[in-house]
Amino acid sequence: MLKVALYISSHGFGHASRMAALAEELIKYQITVFLRSDRPDFLYDCLDSPFCYKEDVACDFGVVHTTGLQTDIKATKDKLISLFTRRNEIVEREVAWLKEQEIDFALVDIPFLAIEACDYASVPVFAISNFDWFFIYDYVFDKDKELRPLVNTIYGLYARVGASFRLPFSSVKSMGAFPRAQKVGLLAKRKDVYNDIRKLYKVDAKDRILACSFGGEEGMEMEMDKICKAFKGVVISANPGVDSENHRYASRSSDWLDIISGCDVLLTKPGYSTFAEACQFGKPILYRPRLNYPEEKVLIKGLAHYKAAVEVPQKMTSIAAWKSLFAAAPQGYKPSETYRNQNANIAASIVGTYFAQTQKHRKLKSVFDIGSNNLNYLVYNSDDARVLHTAHYTTALSKGLVSDDCSQFKSVVRTLMKFDQEIDSQKLAISTAVARERERFSVVSGWILDRYDIKVKVLKQHQEAAAAYMAVKASLPDVAKPLVVDIGGMSTEVAWGSSYKERKGIELGLLSLQDTSYREFYELMDKRLPGLQDASKYTLVVTGLTATYIAAAVYDFPYQLAWKGHAKKVSLSQVNKLINDLQHDSNEIVSSAKATGMDLFILESALHFVKIIMERYQMKECPICYYGISLGYILNK
C-alpha cells in the first residue's frame, strides 16, 4: 500500500544494480516501488513483480568518459550545463508525477534534481549512496570558476534530504554534501539460487574461471588476447572480438551475478556494485583503477580489510606479467561481517526512518491477523484514524499444522518482523478459526511469544463477525445498512448490525470445499445462513482477502494488489460467468488469473460462497471491502 519512488542515476550500471537489490527487499514488505530510471531493463530482471513499475526517465547523467574510462572534462561540463538548462522542465515533470502517483516517500541514488522535485511536491525524500555528485564535480572542476555556482547548487540540493544512508566503499568526504549520513552495511544483488556457469559456458570441472567485468561504462581497455594466453583456465568476458580457445563470451546483459558467484577470480575496474557483489561471495579481486576519478580512492580504500584484493598495474605489456599476476592472485575466503550482505537490514532501516519522521508522536498499531491460509498485516495511525500500510502473505498454516511443517508461516513472519521491528508501534496478533480448530496452534503462538514477545489473541466467532462489521462501517461509510460476510479458510462470519444478536458464525470456509461437493455445500450453507426479515433493506458487502480475489478476477488486476478491489462492485451475473468460465477453463480473465499465480481453487470456492449468499438474499450485486478484521479489531479496542 505504501508507494515509494526510486530515483536512480543514469551513470553506468552500478547504481541501478544496487537499487534493484534494495527494491527487491522493499517489495517483500509489499511496498509498491516505482523505478525512475533509463538504465537497461535487464538490470531489473529480479523485480518481476506486480509491486514494481519502471519508467524510462533520467534526472542526471554522471560524467562523460573517454578511452580507458578517463573523465572527459569538457564533455562533462557541457552536459552538466545542458542538464541545468532543463532543470525547470525536469523538476516540473517530476512534481506532477509524484503528485499524480501519490508517492509516500522517495529514495535517490543520487540524482539531485529529484530531491528538488520531492521538496516542491511535499514528498519525504532520502538518499543512499557511497558518494555524491558534489564530491565528483568538486574534484573534476576544482579550477573551473565558471562552473562553481552550479556545483554549489548541487551541494544545496543534497542538503534538503530528510535522511541519508552511507554505503560501504565511501568516506565522510565522499558523502559530504549529505547532512548526518548514517552508515549502513553492504547493499548488493543476490539470489536464492545461482545458475551453474560451468554448465552454461561449457567449462570443465578441473578448469579455473577468470571473470572479466568492467561494468556499465564502455571504454576500459584490456589486452584480452594476452590475458587469455596467460590464464590457466577459462576466461569469461563481455568482449565479443576475442579469438581464443579458452575464451567464453557473455554479453553485458547476461546475468553477471551468476558469473561472479561462480568464478574463481574476478578481474575488474573499481566499481561499487562489482566490488560489493564479489566481496559478499568472498571472491579474489584483481582491479585496475581508472585515472582522474575521485571515487576510485574511496572504493579502493574500502577494500583495506578485504584479504583477497590486488591492484593491477596500469601497464601490463607482456603475457609473462599477466602470468605472474595470476600466479600471485589471492585465494577466496569467507568474508568478515563488514563485507556480508545487509540488504534486508538496510531496507528495514529506511522504512523505519520514514515512519519515525512522518509519524512522530503518533500512536501506531501493527496488527498480524493469522488465518488458516494467509497472514494479513496492517499498520494503523490511531490518532489520525488512518491506515498507513497493509500486506498479505500466503502461509498455508492450516496444512502446516496438520503436517507439522510451519516453515512457510515462520518465514513470512520473520520477513515481516524485520520491517515491523523498525516501527515504533504497539504489536497486536490475532487469530480466528485456525487457532480454534487446530490443536497444534499453540506451538505457533508459543513461537511468536518466545521470539517476538507478542501474545496471540484468539477471537471467538462473534468477535470476528463484530470486527468485520466494524471494518466495513469505517471504510465504506456510504453503505447505510451493510450485511457483512467475511469468508475465511475454515469459517464464515455474518453480521448485519452492531449487537451480539446481529452476528452469526458458520463453521464452513473455503477449505471446506476440498472435501465437500458443491451440491452438498449449497444445501449446508442455505440451512446455516441467518434468516433476515426484509433482506432487501440491506446491502450485501463481502469483506477481506477472499473478496478481493473475486474483484481481481472481475476487474483484471493482479490479486496481490488486493487493495485495488476496495469498494468495487461485483454482480451476480459476473459471478455466474466466472464460475462457468472456470469450469470450462476458458475466457481471458481466467488466463489472466492463472498468469498472476492466483489459486484457482480459492477463486472458484469464493465465487460459490458469494453466489449462494447473493441468491439466498436475492442480491444482484455487492461491494467489496478490502479491509477485514485487522482494522475492525483495532477499532473495536
Question: What pLDDT, on a 0 to 100 scale, did the predictor assign at position 414?
Answer: 97
Beta carbons of 33 and 47 less than 8 angstroms apart:
yes
Report the distance separating Cα 295 and Cα 66, nearest Å.
16
Beta carbons of 20 and 47 less than 8 angstroms apart:
yes
| CA neighbours closer than 13 Å in the CB half-sphere of residue 500 | 1
Q: Judge if 108 and 172 occupy the same domain.
A: yes
Residue 544's pLDDT band, with cuts at 50, 70 and 90, is confident
Q: Judge if 498 and 451 occupy the same domain.
A: no
Question: What pLDDT, on a 0 to 100 scale, did the predictor assign at position 221?
Answer: 65
Question: What pLDDT, on a 0 to 100 scale, did the predictor assign at position 219?
Answer: 52
Give the chain's radius of gyration (CA, Å).
29
- Whichever domain contains 508, its CATH number is 3.30.420.150
Question: What pLDDT, on a 0 to 100 scale, did the predictor assign at position 596?
Answer: 82
Task: For 19-50, write each residue's pLDDT tens digit.
Answer: 999 999 999 999 999 999 999 999 999 999 99
Q: Judge if 493 and 565 occupy the same domain.
A: yes
Last residue within a domain, chosen from 158, 183, 208: 183
β-partners of residue 253 are: none
Q: Judge if 201 and 143 occupy the same domain.
A: no
Beta carbons of 35 and 8 less than 8 angstroms apart:
yes
Q: Is residue 608 part of a domain?
A: yes
What single DSSP character describes residue 71? B
Domain count along the chain: 4
What single DSSP character describes residue 341? B
Beta carbons of 35 and 55 less than 8 angstroms apart:
yes
Question: What pLDDT, on a 0 to 100 scale, did the predictor assign at position 220?
Answer: 57
**Higher per-residue confidence, 216 vs 178:** 178
- pTM of the predicted protein model: 0.95
Report the distance separating Cα 454 and Cα 427, nearest Å.
7
Residue-wise over 417-447: b if at least 16 C-beta within 10 A, else e? Answer: bbbbebbebebbbbbbbbbbbbeebeebbee
556: its cell numbers? 483484471
Percent of the chain with pLDDT over 70: 98
Q: Judge if 294 and 420 occupy the same domain.
A: no
2: its cell numbers? 505504501
Q: Judge if 272 and 313 occupy the same domain.
A: yes
Q: Judge if 489 and 613 occupy the same domain.
A: yes
Q: Judge if 161 and 284 occupy the same domain.
A: no
Task: For 232-259, write each residue's pLDDT tens digit.
Answer: 999 999 999 899 999 999 999 999 999 9
Which three-class secondary structure string do you get for 15-57? HHHHHHHHHHHHHHCCCEEEEECCCCHHHHHHHCCCCEEEECC
Q: Is the pLDDT of residue 215 over 60?
A: no
Percent of the chain with pLDDT over 90: 88
Q: Is the pLDDT of residue 216 over 60?
A: no
- Residue appearing with cell numbers 596467460: 230
Task: For 375-419, write each residue's pLDDT tens digit.
Answer: 999 999 999 999 999 999 999 999 999 999 999 999 999 999 999
Q: Is residue 585 part of a domain?
A: yes
β-bridge pairing 52-55 and 105-109 = unpaired
Residue 585's pLDDT band, with cuts at 50, 70 and 90, is confident
Domain that holds residue 250: 197-336
Residue type, 375: L
Spell out the residues 6+ positions from residue 97 whose beta carbon is closer than 8 angstroms to its own. none
DSSP element (H, E) containing 259: helix 256-262
Question: What pLDDT, on a 0 to 100 scale, did the predictor assign at position 237?
Answer: 95
Task: For 470-483, write each residue's pLDDT tens digit.
Answer: 999 999 999 999 99
β-partners of residue 71 are: 65
What is the full DSSP assignment across 461-509?
A: HHHHHHHHHHHHHHH-TT-SSEEEEEE-SS-EEEESSSSGGGEEEES--
- Whichever domain contains 232, its CATH number is 3.40.50.2000
Spell out the residues 6+ positions from residue 373 whose beta carbon is closer than 8 angstroms to its own. 394, 395, 396, 397, 398, 489, 510, 511, 602
Q: Which of 233-242, 285-294, 317-326, 547-556 has the lowest mean pLDDT?
A: 285-294
Task: For 489-523, write each residue's pLDDT tens digit.
Answer: 999 999 999 999 999 999 999 988 888 888 899 99
Last residue within a domain, chosen from 161, 183, 205: 183
Last residue within a domain, chosen from 458, 485, 504: 458
Q: Judge if 156 and 37 occupy the same domain.
A: yes
Q: Is residue 466 part of a domain?
A: no
β-bridge pairing 364-370 and 374-381 = antiparallel
